[in-house]
Amino acid sequence: MNKLILGTAAVALFTAPALAAPISVSVGGYYNAVFYDVDVDENQLANARSSSIHNDNEIIFKGKTKSDSGIEFGFQVQLEGEGAGANDHIDENYVYVKGDFGKIEMGAENNAAYKMQVSAPKFLGWKTYDNNFKTWGEVSSFDKPLLDGVDGDALKVNYYTPKVNGFQLGISYTPDTSDTSGDSGLYAEGEAGTATAYAVSYAGTVAGMKVKASYGVNEFDEDPGVDPREDTALGLSVAFGDWTVGGASTTFEKNNVDTDILHYGVQYQLNSSTTIGFAIHDQEIDSGNDTEILAIGGATKLASGVLLTYSHETVEETVAGSASYDSDFTGVGLLLKF
């Protein structure tokens, strides 16, 4: 399978004629900052703050050009504005080739199954199923219902077929998952396994409704003697009028322990500038913790590229079917997209 991906990439690269124009570069990104009033169960997290500021931001550099035959070449580099450490300033960075054959990406990037995944609507402007603020993860076993947990941004090759009647296939191969932030051990054996991801997606109109659907699998082959891991996710989103309903059902299978996650939400377009809605996260771990999260709120456009966000989020964590802890977050923030 990996030879098929490499062969497709080679054909696309070596059959392209000279470029017709220099590479044009653009800069964009986002900055998301939220002030939270926090009420955390003291039995779950002692000496917790009563207020907190959370942020998530990136500056994204993009470049592209086209050959005389119409084949597009480009790159993307994402600069972290708020990193977790000295080695976390650049995450995704890759080159790509795009044409009638589809699209090929090579570099440090999420896999195709992750990028094609359909989930809950973004009524808050930010993704509730991502929660990069790390608010919920501090007080619960919250796990993202996404197919990036095995290989993350490790160096890989992604291939996407052209869309046919709304359907598209994607496949990824990661030769070394030792560093999910982008680098790898190159030729080192035994330190980590390989990952392969597959996905199929659909986007179209059915009975007057805009429908998006996806199914993805991410398989991880570890060292001998260690159980392999397989993650699967099914996503669906339906938009009709001012309403959007969607979500994802995800299962992580690792070391004979299953984590089942159902993350779904509803969005309503209140007017031309405001969306409101709610999202529910229901997570169960075999013989482990159960996590239930409810997020309600909305986002209002203040100017071009500027959103005022407001939300109330509740987290209930049940530890191995015994003790239960409750936490509440009420937040107001700004989301800037540029």
How confident is the model over 244-270, as pLDDT tens digits? 999 999 999 987 889 999 999 999 999
Contact call for residues 76 and 64 (beta carbons, < 8 A): no
CA dihedral angle for residue 35, residue 41, residue 43, residue 46, rounded to 10 degrees: 20
**19 pLDDT above the threshold of 70:** no
* Tens-place pLDDT, residues 169-209: 999 999 988 888 887 766 666 557 889 999 999 999 999 99
* pLDDT at residue number 2: 56
pLDDT score of 88 more than 90: no
Q: What are the DSSP calls for 42-97, one per residue?
A: TTTSTT--SEEEEEEEEEEEEEEEEBTTS-EEEEEEEEESS-SSTT-SEEEEEEEE
Residue bearing the bigger pLDDT, 14 or 289? 289
The predicted pLDDT at position 26 comes to 96
Least confident stretch, 109-113, 137-141, 304-308, 321-325: 321-325
Per-residue model confidence (pLDDT) at position 135: 87
pLDDT in tens, 106-137: 999 999 999 999 999 999 999 999 887 788 98
Structural domains of the chain, count: 1
**Is the per-residue pLDDT at 275 higher than 80?**
yes
Nearest 5°: phi and psi at 313? Answer: -125, 130
Name the pLDDT band for 42 (thresholds 50, 70, 90): confident
E strand map for the chain: 24-40, 51-66, 72-80, 90-99, 102-108, 155-160, 167-174, 194-206, 209-221, 229-240, 243-254, 257-269, 274-285, 290-303, 306-318, 324-337
Specify the CATH number for the domain of residue 302.
2.40.160.10
User: Residue 86 pLDDT > 80, yes or no?
Assistant: no
Residue matched to tokens 């159980």: 227
Check pLDDT > 90 for residue 166.
yes
Give the three-state DSSP class for 40: strand
* pLDDT score for 199: 98
pLDDT at 84: 56
Residue count (the chain) = 338
Structure confidence at residue 83 as a pLDDT band (50, 70, 90): low
Residue 18 or residue 141, greater confidence: 141
Which pLDDT score, from 0 to 100, does residue 219 have?
A: 93
Confidence grade of residue 91 (pLDDT, cut at 50, 70, 90): confident
> Residue 286 sits in which domain range?
2-337
pLDDT averaged over the chain? 89
Task: State the pLDDT at residue 196.
Answer: 95
Band (pLDDT 50/70/90 cuts) for residue 1 is low
Residues 1, 196: Cα–Cα separation, whole Å: 9
pLDDT given for residue 290 in this prediction: 95
Interval 200-238: pLDDT, tens: 999 999 999 999 999 999 998 865 555 678 999 999 999
Residue 20: is its pLDDT beyond 60? no
Give me the mean pLDDT over the 28-49 stretch: 90
Q: Is the predicted pLDDT of residue 17 greater than 90, yes or no?
A: no
Distance from C-alpha of 217 to C-alpha of 198, rounded to nearest angstrom: 5
Chain Cα centroid distance, residue 235 = 13
pTM for this predicted structure: 0.89
**DSSP code for 164:** B
